[in-house]
Amino acid sequence: MLGEEEIQKSSDVLSDELRKIVDSHVDKNAEILVVGLGNIYVTPDALGPKVINDIEVTRHMIKYLPQYVKEGARNVSAISPGVLGTTGIETVEILKGIVDNIHPKLVIVIDALASRSIERINSTVQISDTGIVPGAGVGNTRKEISQNTLGIPVIAIGIPTVVETAVLVNDSLDLFITKLQDEAKSNDYLNELKQEDNYEEIKEALVPQDYNLIVTPKEIDGLIENMSQIVATGINQAI
């Protein structure tokens, strides 16, 4: 678990980087829609919805109570559209309807990711202005959310929260080989094995047996709380 000071420092870094990307696409007064992807009832996938709970939305205030809004405040709205399995609607279809009705100039999407490295779980924040394909990291690819599908720029913020069993085995194999090398039990075969990325071969062996599980740390509840706070604070400061 992170302390308040560490969370604020991380939020400041995220805010600085996000502000640069936002400013490169829209002006200071442009309306922004923040979207939290994921399933609130599945902890490793709850990052997006939890971030939305802490976003400072202003659209309703500007529209109905403008006297209470600071001059120059940006028009910000937010939504967590759920997942196809509970709504029966593709996320991009929901967002198209919203974009067509409220006309934001930019969309910021937050989502949990699957990582190809154990070290990146809840320790890396990825920012992209090319959009996102929900579910792609766990083999459940949905329609992309991007400027091509929504007609306006889409900035994606993602944090790895899970890995496949094949990733665990591959990384663990490297650690095991390193241990053998440290104990002077290495040979040419182990050296060659460690230098290769064995992920695809391991995955091919696990998938037919349905053993390629999606795995998350046991501390995921606290990690999601930390990371959602970092992302929400970073977004609020940036926009």
Could you report the per-residue pLDDT of 109-151, keeping only the tens digit for each? 999 998 888 888 888 999 999 999 876 555 555 689 999 999 9
The SS3 assignment for 176 reads: helix
Written as one letter, the residue type at 1 is M
Torsions phi, psi for 73 (to 5 deg): -65, 135
Domain range summary for the chain, segments of one domain joined by +: 4-163+217-238, 166-209
The answer, yes or no, to whether residue 10 has pLDDT greater than 90, is: yes
| Band of pLDDT at residue 186, cut at 50, 70 and 90 | low
Q: Tokens 């190809």 — which residue?
A: 116
| Pair 108, 35: CB distance under 8 Å | yes
| Cβ neighbours, 10 Å, residue 24 | 10
**Top-level class of domain 4-163+217-238:** alpha beta
Alpha helix ranges (H) inside the chain = 4-25, 47-53, 59-64, 84-87, 91-102, 147-150, 165-182, 188-195, 199-206, 220-238
Site of tokens 């709504």? 87
- Residues 96-111 have a mean pLDDT of 96
CB 228 within 8 A of CB 2: no
What does the pLDDT average to over 29-54?
95
Tens-digit pLDDT profile for residues 155-176: 999 999 998 888 878 777 777 7
Q: Can you read off the two tokens belonging to residue 197? A: 């990325």
Please tell me the pTM assigned to this model.
Answer: 0.83
User: Do β-strands 76-79 and 32-36 pair in parallel, antiparallel, or remain unpaired?
Assistant: parallel
Q: How far apart are CA 206 and CA 216, in angstroms?
A: 18
